Amino acid sequence: MNDILKYLPYKSSFLFVDNITALDENGVTGNHTLKPDAFFYEDHFPDNPVTPGVIITEVMAQIGLVVLGIYLMLDGKPHEGAVMHADSFPLLTSTNVDFFKMVLPGEKVTVNSKKQYFRFGKLKCLVEMHNADGDLVAKGVFSGIIKNAVKL
Amino acid sequence: MDRKEILIELKKVLTPYTENKEMLDGINEQTDLIKDLKINSANLVDIIIDAEAQYNIEIDFDAAEKMYNVGNCIDVISEKINKPA
């Protein structure tokens, strides 16, 4: 199931997907462990590192929209040699997120996304994030588009 | 349903998506959804889905591509409601 990760266009400091544990045409579940040495903790905040809401949002978008979006565009059948087109990338078009709990460095979070629709190249999902204790961390509706994402 | 009636209904569909509420009051067939009504282009998909529910029609990719101004939207909607699939 982690085969899908090779299609993600993110690298190193901005890749926020570790494992995909469930994936089908209706939704996805995956997780990420926040690296304690991630670049944003030094300044957010000095001596008091907390994961920025914008990073939480990004984790939810990468797992909940981008992984599922690529899966849908590949028709559920990853092809050998298929790669992200050099001049295309996923774009977030709207989010509406509520945050319930802080996420600290080193925490593992699990993201669950349910498809609301995928039409005309736009994917809209209800996305939830839980921490290792199973507490709801964040919840929201996410939408995004990917154009020409896969070159065969 | 004639074009005038469709326009009145269409206005209701567009209301939640436009940043330009004043412009919406005075829309005509030439009003451009993105340029004039300042609608987020990705939300055109939501407008199409709402229009499908509103008029009980199905809009395919080719029809959706034409729906960039109010007149085009009315063309597509009136064609679909007068010719059920």
Classify domain B3-82 at the CATH topology level: 1.10.1200
Across the interface, whether the CB atoms of A119 and B49 are under 8 A apart is answered yes
Q: What is the pLDDT of residues A128-149, one digit of tens each?
A: 999 999 999 999 999 999 766 4
Number of H helices, E strands in chain A: 2, 8
Per-window interface: A 112-131 vs B, CB < 8 A = 117, 119-122, 124
- Using an 8 Å CB-CB cutoff, list chain A residues near B49: 117, 119
- Between the CA atoms of A50, A53, A57 and A62, what dihedral angle is there, to the nearest 10 degrees? -30
Whether residue A14 is preceded by a cis peptide bond, meaning omega within 30 degrees of 0, is no
Judge whether A93 is closer than 8 Å to chain B, CB to CB: yes
A127 pLDDT band, cuts 50/70/90, is very high
pLDDT score for A121: 87
Backbone dihedral region of A80: left (phi > 0), alpha (psi from -120 to 50 degrees) or beta? Answer: beta
Chain A residue nearest residue B43, CA to CA: A93
- Tell me whether 0.95 is exceeded by the ipTM: no
Q: What pLDDT is stored for residue A88 in this prediction? A: 74
**Percent above pLDDT 90 for chain A:** 73
The residue segments making up the domain with residue A119 are 2-151
Strand A122-130, strand A19-24: pairing: unpaired
| Full-model pTM | 0.89
pLDDT tens digits along A97-125: 999 999 999 999 999 999 999 999 899 99
Residue A122 to residue B42, Cβ atoms within 8 A: yes
Which residue positions in chain B have pLDDT lower than 70? 84-85
Confidence grade of residue A74 (pLDDT, cut at 50, 70, 90): confident
> How high is the mean pLDDT of chain A?
91
Query: CA-CA distance, A40 to A44, in Å (whole number)?
Result: 6
Residue A12 pLDDT > 60: yes
Q: Does B48 touch chain A (CB under 8 A)?
A: yes
Catalytic positions of A, please? 44
pLDDT exceeds 60 at position A151: no
Number of structural domains (chain A) is 1
> Among the ranges A5-19, A87-101, A124-138, which has the highest mean pLDDT value?
A124-138
Looking at CA atoms only, how far is residue B46 from chain A in angstroms?
9
Residue of B42, B48, B61 lying closest to A145 (CB–CB): B42
What does the pLDDT read at residue A139?
Answer: 98
The CATH number of residue A123's host domain is 3.10.129.10
Q: What is the pLDDT of residue A149?
A: 47
